[in-house]
Amino acid sequence: MTDSTPSPLLSETHALLARLGVDVTTLAAGARTARSPITGEALAALTDATPAEVAAAVGAAHQAFAAWREVPAPRRGELVRLFGEELRAAKADLGRLVTIEAGKILSEGQGEVQEMIDVCDFAVGLSRQLCGLTIATERREHRMMETWHPLGVVGIISAFNFPVAVWAWNAALALVCGDPVVWKPSEKTPLTALATHAVLGRALARFGDAPAGLAQVVLGDAAVGAALVDDPRVALVSATGSTAMGRAVAPRLAARFARALLELGGNNAAIVCPSADLELAVRAIAFAAMGTAGQRCTTLRRLFVHDDVAAPLLARLRPAYASVRVGDPRAPDALVGPLVDGAARDAMAAALAEAAALGGTVHGGEPVAVGAGGHYVRPALVELPAQVGPMLRETFAPILYVVRYRTLDEAIALQNAATQGLSSSIFTRDLGEAERFLSASGSDCGIANVNLGPSGAEIGGAFGGEKETGGGRESGSDAWRAYMRRATNTINYGRALPLAQGVRFDLPETA
Secondary structure percentages of the chain, helix, strand, coil, to 5: 40, 20, 35
Residues 86 and 90: their CA atoms lie apart, in Å, by 6
Active site residues: 263, 297
Q: Is the dihedral of CA 250, 252, 253, 257 positive or negative?
A: positive
* 443 contacts: CB under 8 Å, gap ≥ 6: 412, 415, 416, 424, 426, 437
Residues 417 and 450: their CA atoms lie apart, in Å, by 20
Nearest to 454 by CA among 462, 441, 466, 445: 445
* 104 contacts: CB under 8 Å, gap ≥ 6: 98, 112, 292, 329, 337
Phi first, then psi, for residue 192 (nearest 5°) are -65, -30
Q: Identify residue 207 by its one-letter amino acid code.
A: F
Nearest to 316 by CA among 363, 261, 358: 363
Q: Identify residue 187 by its one-letter amino acid code.
A: E
Nearest to 366 by CA among 393, 384, 345: 345
CB-CB neighbours of 3 under 10 Å: 9
Residues 340 and 344: their CA atoms lie apart, in Å, by 7
List Cα–Cα distances, 442 to 416, 454, 457, in angstroms.
Answer: 9, 15, 20
- Count Cβ atoms within 10 A of the Cβ of residue 501 and give its class: 0-12 exposed, 13-18 middle, 19 or more buried: exposed
Could you tell me where the DSSP H helices lie in 103-215? 106-126, 165-177, 190-207
Helix (H) or strand (E) holding 80: helix 73-102
Q: What is the C-alpha end-to-end distance of the chain, expressed in Å?
A: 90
